[in-house]
Structure 1
């Protein structure tokens, strides 16, 4: 199917090269957690693997920070180019890239994908496989996922295995014609390594079955790391509550009204602090320029009048592994960002998920057999959340015991992805 070249690539002296494409920057700690977990999985199944991470960055400065700050010598970072808006084209009209983009956009649109992934293409011939990472890219949550179907098409055209790695997929039923296209497209990729059963059920419903493999999210495999010198910056008290809230939730909770969501978030945090009497740590997990948890939670905390002395806003400088260490110290954690809740669950912390898509419900359903610990956007009232957290505190020991017995099997599911991939490449 793939030209019979993978045995040589996998067993060469340098070790196989894997392209990890489709991620956002490490400032989205979920994206970093996916990379760290994936690297750990593949090192278990392949000897001396190397990794080309091609991700989306909002600026060259952001890319350079990640590239120079990378601590794993086996990882090389590259920058992809997203679709350019009219405003971006006008702002950068003097750049040669802009003229090339505009020409292809209007006269040769079928070539646009090669411009987007031009820095990846030279590495394809040596790649054992392309892994489309990012978790929930193949959905309508962030618009039509053309950037990622383009990635698949390039890999297919170049006869490279393309795997949707640890993915939640769909639903696409809001656009029936597009759902039909995606069903055909998804049947053409090498593998869909689905991280939760809701995705598997959805794919089965649109006729995508043969290339679907059940796994767990690779972020379950990321090890926590104690931040150096954290005692000099913030004190992490025992028996505290961790909360992560995101500006993105405004789209689902208040119809896009960010100010109203900020006011509601302030009421939620104040209510939890007052009801439990415990210190509350506000823990950012995504701090990219256009969706910054830290800035949002700072504004929310500033609106709290009483009890603010019991609320600590965690600085945004910690890595994904360091943030997981902090989350792991909490008595209970409540989070909007999926990978913040994965960090909590994999640390054995009772976790309440603020769920706006299938991914949170699917992960919880697979872990607990139900999604009682998920609250949808229509349930995010301060009274509901404080009551739920209080209930989880009263059941803390039982939940912790259950997680201790269950998480190892979830991590086995994450590790199984490496076995599936190895079997595909050896076939």
Structure 2
């Protein structure tokens, strides 16, 4: 008799988030699970607990099931608890960087509840590579300590998060990297003659001054002025450059638009004739395919930068939080500029210099990518062990 499929449930993932970075984590983790299942000769059933949304999912297939994440799923025994009991293991990626108390108590308490229900079900919990912390409040530190202690696997995506997990009492931590290094895409074909294509990812959130407009990220740069200076710099560069304005958080009509990159790109495209407005991408892989065809890239959305980094494009990440330097620095890639501590002129000079030396930057990114993929191997090996145990 044929063995039943391995049943995996995904938490903290999204199949249709407006933020393509969160989507990139989901598509990549599913690609990893599918590949391992194929290598061990088993089928896999993947259930994603996801918020209801009208957007079409990024991932489809007979092995994918999407279950609405709502109050009923979290509170009824027939909801998530029953789903966890039917699963061989649960993979929780925490939205990449949400396992922290800096985003408010509502999101974090929901994460603690779902982790607790997983443990109550007796199902192994995998904390996939993610940022851990910061936890600034005693109560959230205590809950985080308990969650980390009971997890079957804890994987971080940078040195800082490894240290944070160990400081919370978790001794065994797999220091991996961001799973989006594995995001599938279509590599570009042979390059035709034409201008150098400069990709600039615009953060609508930072253009608006943060969620409140009061600079809660503590930027020392004047981000809107810096963006305009970068566009002018490359449009007037003697090499002849074509500036592509690239969104990575794309909010549909009728929803809150404060985070929307596409509208910010659209406004700048109107302000600067000759720039190219990138499409309103339908999926993370579509965005990465576009970015992979560029000659140089910079941006304040970390996963837009990861898309460039993992597809061979010289990239300068423009950080607004510690997660940038944590991720890229852990891979020995030190080209990140810091919008929370550096002046506009310093950042512009660093980016201009990196562009002139872009082949060196490309080689550094290539070396960093190999380090990242090697670090991901340890996480994938842990998943393989769980899948092999489920099939025994």
In the superposition, the TM-score normalised over structure 2's length comes to 0.83
Cα RMSD of the aligned pairs, angstroms, is: 3.1
Deviations 1:287-320 (A, max 9, x none): 2443321123334445x3xxx1232221213321
What does 1:365-376 correspond to in 2, within 5 Å?
A: 365-368=329-332, 371-376=334-339
What does 1:179-198 correspond to in 2, within 5 Å?
A: 179-198=141-160
Give how far 1:126 is off.
2.7
Q: Does 1:332 align with 2:296?
A: yes
Q: Does 1:39 align with 2:30?
A: yes
Separation in structure 2 between the aligned mates of residue 295 and residue 172 of structure 1, nearest angstrom: 33
- Higher-helix-fraction structure: 1
Give how far 1:330 is off.
2.1
**Residue aligned with 1:76, SS:** strand
Match of 1:206 in 2: 168
Q: Does 1:18 align with 2:13?
A: no
Match of 1:50 in 2: 45
Q: Does 1:167 align with 2:130?
A: yes
Alignment counterpart, residue 30 of structure 1, candidates 12, 16, 21? 21
Match of 1:362 in 2: 326
Q: Is the 8 A contact 2:89 2:386 kept in 1?
A: no
Q: Does 1:352 align with 2:316?
A: yes
What does 1:99-110 correspond to in 2, within 5 Å?
A: none
**Residue aligned with 2:85, SS:** coil
Question: Closer, same or farther in 2 for the Cα pair 1:380/1:51, shift >3 Å?
Answer: farther
Separation in structure 2 between the aligned mates of residue 257 and residue 366 of structure 1, nearest angstrom: 26
**Residue aligned with 2:210, SS:** helix
Find runs of 4+ consecutive structure 1 residues off by over 4 angstroms.
235-238, 263-266
- Unaligned runs of 5+ residues in structure 1 are 1-10, 83-96, 98-111, 228-234
Give how far 1:346 is off.
0.5
Q: Is the 8 A contact 2:24 2:284 kept in 1?
A: yes
Question: Closer, same or farther in 2 for the Cα pair 1:80/1:252, shift >3 Å?
Answer: closer
Alignment counterpart, residue 361 of structure 2, candidates 378, 381, 399? 399
Separation in structure 2 between the aligned mates of residue 408 and residue 401 of structure 1, nearest angstrom: 11
Q: Does 1:387 align with 2:345?
A: no
Alignment counterpart, residue 184 of structure 2, candidates 219, 223, 239? 223
Give how far 1:236 is off.
11
Deviations 1:350-388 (A, max 9, x none): 22222233321111111226x44231334362x333222
Give how far 1:12 is off.
6.3
Q: Does 1:298 align with 2:266?
A: yes
What does 1:77-156 correspond to in 2, within 5 Å?
A: 77-81=66-70, 113-115=74-76, 119-133=79-93, 134-144=95-105, 145-156=108-119
Q: How many matched pairs?
A: 364
Give how far 1:424 is off.
4.7
Separation in structure 2 between the aligned mates of residue 125 and residue 236 of structure 1, nearest angstrom: 57
Match of 2:200 in 1: 243
Q: Does 1:414 align with 2:376?
A: yes
Give how far 1:156 is off.
0.2
Match of 1:91 in 2: none
- Unaligned runs of 5+ residues in structure 2 are none
Q: Is the 8 A contact 1:44 1:418 kept in 2?
A: no
Q: Is the 8 A contact 1:139 1:171 kept in 2?
A: yes
Q: Is the 8 A contact 1:19 1:53 kept in 2?
A: yes
Question: Closer, same or farther in 2 for the Cα pair 1:257/1:205, shift >3 Å?
Answer: closer
**Residue aligned with 1:163, SS:** strand
Separation in structure 2 between the aligned mates of residue 28 and residue 236 of structure 1, nearest angstrom: 33
Q: Is the 8 A contact 1:253 1:380 kept in 2?
A: no
Separation in structure 1 between the aligned mates of residue 194 and residue 102 of structure 2, nearest angstrom: 36
Q: Is the 8 A contact 1:226 1:322 kept in 2?
A: no
